[in-house]
């Protein structure tokens, strides 16, 4: 299969509050899963925050360390605030928790596009990924994000016949 035209790529946008812990971890994990399944040419994968406090910063050092422990390099990730252009371009807007979801609903966005990452992890009994910035549970966040990313990719593969 030949690579898709850039405008035909499936655009996935992961969103958390500051874009330094959960959403960049989700971006990196999802990108790694997509690469493992040799589907990277079909995707544009980005992350952003509902706030701009950390714009221009790399992910939290514990996010980077956790990703590396799992064999994922967090190279090139830089915090940025969500923009209307990102939301308009996205096929899937994936929030980390209910608060992020509520913040996103204040934007002009098709509701069908918005979900939480754990909506794709049906065997997990919680829907919100906790913010490790406050409690240091980066390994738990990795586990949850990984489960959600696997489910999301499965859903996208089924929906788009990949």
Q: Are 74 and 65 within 8 A, CB to CB?
A: no
Q: What angle do CA 14, 76, 145 make, to 5 degrees?
A: 35
Residue among 122, 110, 134 at smallest CA distance from 16: 134
> Does the annotation count 131 as an active-site position?
yes
> Among 21, 22, 32, 97, which one carries the catalytic annotation?
22
> Among 16, 21, 32, 97, which one carries the catalytic annotation?
16
> Does the annotation count 21 as an active-site position?
no
Q: Are 129 and 144 within 8 A, CB to CB?
A: yes
> Rounded to an integer, what distance in angstroms lies between the CA atom of residue 152 and that of residue 110?
18
> Among 21, 31, 97, 131, which one carries the catalytic annotation?
131
> Rounded to an integer, what distance in angstroms lies between the CA atom of residue 107 and that of residue 133?
25
> Does the annotation count 22 as an active-site position?
yes
Q: Are 43 and 34 within 8 A, CB to CB?
A: yes
> Rounded to an integer, what distance in angstroms lies between the CA atom of residue 144 and that of residue 162?
24
Give the residue numbers annotated as catalytic, written as ranges.
16, 22, 131
């Amino acid at each position: 299969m030949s690579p898709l035209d850039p405008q035909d790529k499936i655009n996935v946008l992961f969103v958390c509050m500051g874009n330094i812990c959960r959403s960049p971890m989700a971006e990196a994990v999802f990108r790694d899963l997509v690469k493992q399944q040799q589907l990277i040419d079909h995707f544009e994968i980005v992350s952003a925050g509902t706030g701009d406090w950390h714009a221009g910063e790399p992910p939290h050092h514990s996010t980077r360390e956790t990703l590396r422990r799992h064999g994922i390099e967090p190279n090139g990730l830089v915090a940025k605030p969500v923009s209307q252009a990102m939301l308009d371009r996205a096929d899937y807007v994936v929030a980390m928790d209910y608060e992020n979801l509520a913040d996103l609903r204040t934007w002009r966005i098709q509701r069908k596009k918005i979900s939480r990452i754990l909506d794709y992890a049906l065997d997990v009994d919680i829907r919100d990924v906790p913010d490790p910035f406050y409690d240091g549970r980066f390994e738990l966040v990795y586990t949850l994000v990984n489960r959600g990313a696997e489910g999301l990719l499965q859903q996208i593969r089924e929906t788009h016949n990949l």
